[in-house]
Amino acid sequence: MILYFLRHGAAEERSTGGVDRDRRLTADGEAELRAAAAVWRRIQLRPDVVLSSPFPRALRTAELVVEGLGLDDKPVADERLAPGAAWSSFAQALAEYPADRRVMFVGHEPDLSSAIELLTGAASVRMRKAGVACLEFYGVPEAGGGEIAWLLDPDLYADN
């Protein structure tokens, strides 16, 4: 099984009295994700399903992934992937797609890096905005059972 973890793109700053949940991608954030699609296509990133936090910045990121890769199915917003999600929440969402072998999670920090660290035993993982990690498992994803196949830093998208 392959799990992809994608941190949402660059989003609006938190405003005084603003609600974090309502923050959206910036124009630069959207442009960076559109540029990333060329890299993702080149490495043949093809998730069977894209599961996303329902927060607008993450859901829009997921929509841009689907659009950029030309996937047939829309992303699935899942409240369990909202900020503060632990691996157990990701696993519960994953369990609803038992036939899918390549699943992408679109979410937030530090949730994504914490899940990756738990699943791989890595001491530390840095997930920048619009960065994506690919983890491979020989069986069911569980703590310590995964390997980081690759990690893309968003600086790689700048020249595309």
User: What distance in Å separates the CA atoms of residue 60 and residue 47, rounded to the nearest whole number?
Assistant: 17
- Please name the residue that has the structure tokens 């530090």: 110
Write down all domains in the chain, each with its CATH number in brackets: 23-157 (3.40.50.1240)
In tens, the pLDDT along 45-100 reads: 999 999 999 999 999 999 999 999 999 999 999 999 999 999 999 999 999 999 99
In contact, 71 and 48? CB cutoff 8 Å: no
Q: What angle do CA 81, 86, 88 make, to 5 degrees?
A: 95
Q: Which residues contact 82 (CB under 8 A, 6 or more apart)?
A: 21, 53, 54, 55, 108
pLDDT greater than 80 at residue 159: no
User: What distance in Å separates the CA atoms of residue 3 and residue 127, rounded to the nearest whole number?
Assistant: 15
pLDDT greater than 60 at residue 133: yes
In tens, the pLDDT along 1-44 reads: 999 999 999 998 876 566 777 889 999 999 999 999 999 999 99
Task: Number of helices (H) and strands (E) in the chain: give both, helices first.
Answer: 4, 6
In contact, 104 and 6? CB cutoff 8 Å: yes
**What is the reported pLDDT for 116?**
98
User: What distance in Å separates the CA atoms of residue 152 and residue 104, rounded to the nearest whole number?
Assistant: 14
